[in-house]
Amino acid sequence: MAVPPPDYEERVYAGVLGKLIGVYLGRPIEGWTHERIEAELGDISYYVHDRLGVPLVVADDDISGTFTFLRALPDSGRGRNVTPADIGRAWLNYLVENRTVLWWGGMGNATEHTAYLRLKNGVPAPESGLAGRNGTVLSEQIGAQIFIDGWAMVAPGDPELAADLAGRAARVSHDGEAVHAARVVAAMEALAFVERRVERLQDAVVRLIPPDSVVFRLISDVRGWHAGDGDWRRSRRRIAERYGYDRFGGNCHVVPNHALIHLAILYGGTDFQQALAIVNGSGWDTDCNSGNVGCLMGIKEGLAGIDAGPDWRGPVADRLLLPTADGGRCVTDAVAEAGRVAGIGRTLAGQAPRPPKGGARFHFDLPGAVQGFRPEPPGGAAVENGDGHSRLGRRSLTLRFGPQVGPGAAARAATPTFLPADAFRSGGYGVAGSPTLYAGQVVRAAFEADAANAGPVRCRVVARHHGADDRLTPVGGPEVELPPGARHETEWPVPDSGGSPIADVGIEVAGPAGGAVHLDFLTWDGPPDVTLGRPAQGGSLWLRAWVQAADRFAPGPAPYAYRIIQNEGAGLAIQGTREWTDYRVEAEVAVRLAASAGIAARVQGLRRYYALLLVPGGRARLVRVFDTPEVLGEAAFPWVPDRPYRLALRAVGRGIRAGIDGRDVFDVTDADGRFLDGGAVALVCEEGCIDVGPVAVRPAGAAAPPAEP
């Protein structure tokens, strides 16, 4: 495998940004014809969401699938030997059926939904995507191509490996020309780390697909038309005549859209803006095509290429959503995801990952990175990334506050830690996620007053949680006064929010107007100390903070907080993050009717967790689910329906201890290679109905909370 280039992390970041910009640019006009776009919008030279009255940053399958399915690499532990079956298992672990990532269009209509149902019913990948099973037309739709960028970015400079990995991933759901197209785009993106000339990229990758394939012939045709036409619109007309939608079946065939990718990169050359203008102005599946083109151009031209045109990055502010069963990673940013991708790539190359600033969550160490931080008040404050003011890295985030911020006022710069209420009403692809920050965790930050400030400034870490009726309620750490040029590092244990999810976190500054403060890093760690239940102040987001992977998840009857109903198989409600390691979770559980029911810890998706379950026959069971369930312990426990039992799970290192009503029932050491080292908490109900009291999550050594629900 090729050695990652010296600027690897920055180029991956540019690729991720290019993907986001492309998707956000194309999403509002997805499915429009070329003629409609030209008539109603003209040239697509910048974002059009505001002209069409839709939000910019949204959940989209192109983004979610790209960064979700790639997790099969670290999850499987096989490295470059990851198999289609491993990737298929990642589908089953992370996708919440009918709710997240995919277009759930039904068997025989939506390619990915069809493949998911095959996987769910025991057909392993790659059989789940075979044309012989699903039909040629269905298996050659666009989905395989739109999800492949991650496989390219973990194989910088190695188009053969990128094509191989992308092909394995594609075969989970697709076959034939769709796989060829996925391999081509992945190979070009991987080679773009070391080669900027489009013709060289195409020369190198066409040998990776059969010469008698439609995709091979298509590439040759588009290259020839580009050489002779000199006008992308003329070449686009030729594509429509020979490879248009009318010549291929299904809802969104890969072949016409693959042709537009080559059209855009040939005519776009080294111009990021022009390539996106062409691929979006061409119509058809604009967000998918634009996402692939944006990623390729971002890798190839780097951050300088993205920044050469209009301000693509400002409105995005690095923000993206990854709604999956791993809810603590839904609210994320381009820097964080680029770091994860680059970490996987370095591991594949036999190198250690290089997390900046000791692995700080928000480190700002890439040019222009703001990681979701936005200023308040609008017009009176601004954020920007700049060199220096960091003891652990090279760059920092600067909060500048203007003349509107005078005595008695304050400026803020904050980044989201949970979804706002309107995210759940945005339509389109399903949104599910959990907060990333919880009461009891310790926020650490370092900030420095600018040496040119006119006088001392007062700084503190601040957070806001959803208080009464979900209105934002601020809480803050201790305030420190900083003279010009002074630096301060702070630690702040997040206080209890009464069960309401924490919405955002950042810094607050007050002082002479026209000053600046530089944020070196902001991060947090440690277990939560929180009770998850119905807040006294009302609202609805406390319920939305759970990833709802059950048929029904609703407020429970008093005194319970939750009711879960699952008609078939196991249903879960999940909250927390993968970073939780050693902790204790407890809750009152009353089983109305169920094949099994209980609580889970270290949850890493729908098919990876430890659970303490009550099962029929008066038994209690401790299980580890790692793709399939395995019993770690079973004991007699004569429970009866409708009576509440206090279930407790404690995880410390490899030790898993479980108890019921204050009495230890299981105490095991998980020495298996499939040991789960961290994750969220969950409520589990298999084929039935249960009521659950407030859920307490505490540090592992903390005393148990009161027994009443």
> Domain locations in the chain?
9-327, 358-525, 546-699
Least confident of 40-54, 329-343, 366-380: 366-380
Q: Count CB-CB contacts under 10 A for residue 307.
A: 17
**In this predicted model, what pLDDT tens digit does every residue of 607-648 receive, in sequence order?**
999 999 999 999 999 999 999 999 999 999 999 999 999 999
Distance CA 597, CA 600 (A): 10
Percent of the chain with pLDDT strictly greater than 90: 91
- Give the per-residue pLDDT at 702: 67
Residue 97 predicted with pLDDT over 60: yes
Least confident of 196-205, 216-225, 403-412, 485-494: 403-412
Residue 709 predicted with pLDDT over 50: no
Residue 532 predicted with pLDDT over 70: yes
Instruction: Tell me the average pLDDT across 486-494.
Output: 97
Q: Which residues contact 67 (CB under 8 A, 6 or more apart)?
A: 150, 322, 337, 340, 341
- Give the per-residue pLDDT at 427: 59
Q: What is the pTM of this model?
A: 0.96
Compute the CA torsion angle 289, 290, 293, 295 (nearest 10 deg).
Answer: -120
Whose structure tokens read 């939000």?
Answer: 55
At the topology level of CATH, where does 9-327 sit? Answer: ADP-ribosylglycohydrolase fold (1.10.4080)
Residue 425 predicted with pLDDT over 70: no
Distance CA 295, CA 635 (A): 53
Q: By the 8 A CB rule, do 561 and 692 touch?
A: yes
**In this predicted model, what pLDDT tens digit does every residue of 550-568 receive, in sequence order?**
999 999 999 999 999 999 9
* Residue 703 confidence class, pLDDT cut points 50, 70, 90: low
Compute the Cα dihedral for 32, 33, 34, 38 and give only its sign. negative
**In this predicted model, what pLDDT tens digit does every residue of 124-146 receive, in sequence order?**
999 999 999 999 999 999 999 99
* Residue 433 confidence class, pLDDT cut points 50, 70, 90: very high
- Give the per-residue pLDDT at 414: 96
Distance CA 228, CA 215 (A): 20
Q: Count CB-CB contacts under 10 A for residue 663.
A: 9
**Amino acid (one-letter) located at 192:** A
Q: For residue 124, what are its two tokens?
A: 């392993």
What is the secondary structure of 364-418 as a DSSP string?
A: --STT--TT-EEESBTTEEEEEEE---SSSSEEEEEEE-TTS-TT--EEEEEESS
- Give the per-residue pLDDT at 704: 52
Q: Count CB-CB contacts under 10 A for residue 705.
A: 16
∠ Cα 593 599 602 (to 5°): 150
Distance CA 140, CA 622 (A): 43
Instruction: Tell me the average pLDDT across 222-243.
Output: 97
Distance CA 186, CA 193 (A): 12
Q: Report the candidate in 18, 20, 32, 25 with the shortest Cα–Cα distance to residue 54.
A: 25
Q: Is 546-699 in the same CATH topology as 358-525?
A: yes
- Give the per-residue pLDDT at 708: 40
Q: For residue 643, what are its two tokens?
A: 């009576």
Higher pLDDT, 184 or 536: 184
Distance CA 645, CA 398 (A): 51
In this structure, whether the domain defined by 358-525 belongs to CATH 2.60.120.260 is answered with: yes
Give the H/E segment covering residue 624.
strand 619-626
Distance CA 280, CA 23 (A): 10
**Architecture of the 546-699 domain:** Sandwich (2.60)
Q: Which residues contact 464 (CB under 8 A, 6 or more apart)?
A: 414, 472, 473, 474, 475, 502, 503, 504
Distance CA 531, CA 237 (A): 61
∠ Cα 153 577 676 (to 5°): 85
- Give the per-residue pLDDT at 705: 47
Q: Which residues contact 659 (CB under 8 A, 6 or more apart)?
A: 647, 648, 650, 665, 666
Q: By the 8 A CB rule, do 535 and 502 touch?
A: no
Residue 360 predicted with pLDDT over 70: yes
Q: By the 8 A CB rule, do 150 and 264 touch?
A: no
Q: Which residues contact 413 (CB under 8 A, 6 or more apart)?
A: 373, 374, 375, 376, 381, 383, 397, 399, 506, 507, 519
Residue 430 predicted with pLDDT over 90: no
Residue 688 predicted with pLDDT over 80: yes
- Give the per-residue pLDDT at 673: 85
Distance CA 347, CA 314 (A): 32
- Give the per-residue pLDDT at 428: 67
Instruction: Tell me the average pLDDT across 704-708.
Output: 45
Terminal-residue alpha carbon distance, the chain: 56
Distance CA 112, CA 138 (A): 9
Residue 46 predicted with pLDDT over 70: yes
Distance CA 27, CA 50 (A): 12
Establish whether the linkage from the previous residue to 559 is cis, with ω within 30° of 0: yes
Beta bridge partners of 570: 686
Q: Report the candidate in 272, 337, 276 with the shortest Cα–Cα distance to residue 299.
A: 272
Establish whether the linkage from the previous residue to 378 is cis, with ω within 30° of 0: no
Least confident of 13-27, 426-440, 516-530, 544-558: 426-440
